[in-house]
Amino acid sequence: MMKKSKPPNSRRVEIQQLYQSYTSDQTTMPVCTLLRFLHKEQMELTANEEMAESLIDRYEIEETARKSRSMTFEGFFRYMESKDCCVFNQAHTSVYQDMNQPLTSYFISSSHNTYLTGDQLVGKSRLDAYVCALRKGCRCLEIDCWDGPDMEPVVYHGYTLTTKILFKDVITTVEQHAFEVSAYPVILSLENHCSQEQQEVMARHLITLLGDKLLRAPLDHPATGGLPSPNDLKYKVLIKNKKLKAEREEAAGTEAEGYVDEGEDDDEEEEDEDEEVEDHQTKTKFWYPRKAGPKKTKKKVVVAKALSDLVIYTGSVKFISFSQAKDNQSPSENTSMAEKKARKLVKASAADFVQHNQNFLSRIYPAGSRTSSSNYNPQEFWNVGSQLVALNFQSLGLPMDLNDGRFQDNGGCGYVLKPAVLTSSRRSFDPGSSRRSHKPTHLLLKVISGSNLPVRRSGKAVDPFVRVEIHGIASDSRRKNTHTVKNNSLSPHWDTDMNFSIRIPELCLVRFCVRDQTGLLSSEFVGQYTLPFTSLKKGYRWVPLLSRDGCNLDPASLFVFVWLS
């Protein structure tokens, strides 16, 4: 259904109507009326007269109004267009969460094949891919290490035509940029294919290049049996790799072992006949047949002691089962598994997966068949509390939008505290069957209008509609569309109410996506913005819009009204 749009500057008109509904015939808005507006419309229940006066000081430039402690429409308009009225809670642009919980209690921004800037077959490996990931708040970087010439290990995607970079250059880059945007620990996830001799070279580079930043011994922290906290590990780099278990193995009367395998992990994927991968943008499913011929035999190389000694809290072990982990795994040991194996475990025993992730770190990585470096939807693994949900940061689209939305919370520091449903040991949580056990929260979203949307490449105005998506547990995940406005990029007006009933809001992300209706059943991406449900501000708010590659499309934005009950 197509509707005609309001004339240009419709948002100014809408804000003027709002202003007049509070001021009636008065020429300015006195501080007591502004306070009433803040309480009633913006749901700023803690606002007091002092706060209202500070808004007048900040946004009112007419001297007479400021002296009389009131606000003209121009001041009110400046306030309504300011960060104070952004849909994202500005208190969440700084670190505000408890950073003294063990590492297992956080979602940690994690990258897969961090060195790649393109696909996994012929893509380029570049040092600035590490810089980009770190500047986006990524805290777990992957480094694929292989023997290189002149005893210098190299980083690339093995058995492919991807270009190679030196391991020592990667570590130098990490040292330079690790703590530019976040003080919290960086985990280097080594996919280690090197001989013992070149592993010793790796260990030397880590020690000499990282210096004091490298964590080389356990911290003196209360012997709770768990892992230290992000605060305990500030400005430290942790090495994630397999570790020699000399003492434990000797105590058991067996030979010490710590193998490096050719491949991310011994994973079920190689044993399955074929694999189904879904493109989450188009909902198209693709089948990848298993390669014909004999199965490649993995050669095993023992971990060099020099490298093993640098693995403190993040020793990689093979996942066998939740019960085996409960009985045998140490808190300083973690597992990695491909998305398909993880998905099977979510379907078979999600509550056990949640409990496992209360005690241990788990890393999920994209299927090997994603040769184009596409991504899975990370929400399905956050729902069971997996901390290191690794994505290909170079691949744009919905999964990375969700990752960026999740981790813009808590000051963009790369660590977000998991909600209580995932960390409480008092009651088990199953994201697949929580429909009846939690009282729903009702979200009313009124999508009012847009402003200054990007035009098509041809210069022609778009035919925009807004899709609002809720990403959370399966029963909470929904999406709703406004109608389409014809031929209006400047000031489309929708005035559409959307109602959502949400059981576990603290796990949800809200994604606003503006699309251009290009045909009866086709549309194209214009801009989007994703944020955690818990960061939503109530009342009349504007929504910034980002391009596909995450750049701000300012002044493009949406104007919405948010109500929760």
Q: Residue 31's CB: how many other CB atoms inside 10 A?
A: 18
Strands 493-502, 441-451: pairing is antiparallel
Please identify which of the residues 157, 205, 471, 493 carries the catalytic annotation: 157
Q: Identify the sign of the CA torsion 162, 165, 166, 168.
A: negative
Query: What gap in Å lies between CA 562 and CA 558, rounded to an integer?
Result: 12
Q: What is the CA radius of gyration of the chain?
A: 26
Query: What gap in Å lies between CA 168 and CA 209, rounded to an integer?
Result: 8
Catalytic site includes residue 39:
no
Whether this prediction's pTM lies above 0.85 is answered by yes
- Exposure pattern of 399-416 as b/e (b: 16+ CB <10 Å)? bbbbbbbbbbbbbbbbbb
Q: Would you write out the chain's pLDDT as a tens digit for each of its 565 residues?
A: 444 444 456 788 999 999 999 998 788 999 999 999 999 999 999 999 999 999 999 999 999 999 999 999 999 999 999 999 999 999 999 999 999 999 999 999 999 999 999 999 999 999 999 999 999 999 999 999 999 999 999 999 999 999 999 999 999 999 999 999 999 999 999 999 999 999 999 999 999 999 999 999 999 865 556 899 999 999 999 999 999 976 335 433 444 455 554 445 444 333 333 333 444 443 444 443 443 334 445 567 689 999 999 999 999 999 999 999 999 999 999 999 999 999 999 999 999 999 999 999 999 999 999 999 999 999 999 999 999 999 999 999 999 999 999 999 999 999 999 999 999 988 889 998 865 667 899 999 999 999 999 999 888 999 999 999 999 999 999 999 999 999 999 999 999 999 999 999 999 999 999 999 999 999 999 999 999 999 999 999 999 999 999 999 999 999 999 999 9
Q: Are 528 and 543 in contact (CB under 8 A)?
A: no
Please identify which of the residues 92, 112, 177, 193 carries the catalytic annotation: 112
357 DSSP assignment: H
Q: Is 385 left (phi over 0), alpha (psi -120 to 50) or beta?
A: left
Q: How many CA atoms lie within 13 A of 108 on its CB side?
A: 28
**Paired tokens of 20:** 């007049």
H-helix or E-strand spanning residue 495? strand 493-502
Q: Identify the three-state secondary structure at position 109.
A: coil
Catalytic site includes residue 471:
no
Q: Are 464 and 485 in contact (CB under 8 A)?
A: yes
Query: What gap in Å lies between CA 546 and CA 557, rounded to an integer?
Result: 9
Please list the residues that pair with 389 across neighbouring strands.
Answer: 364
Q: Identify the sign of the CA torsion 311, 194, 392, 553.
A: positive
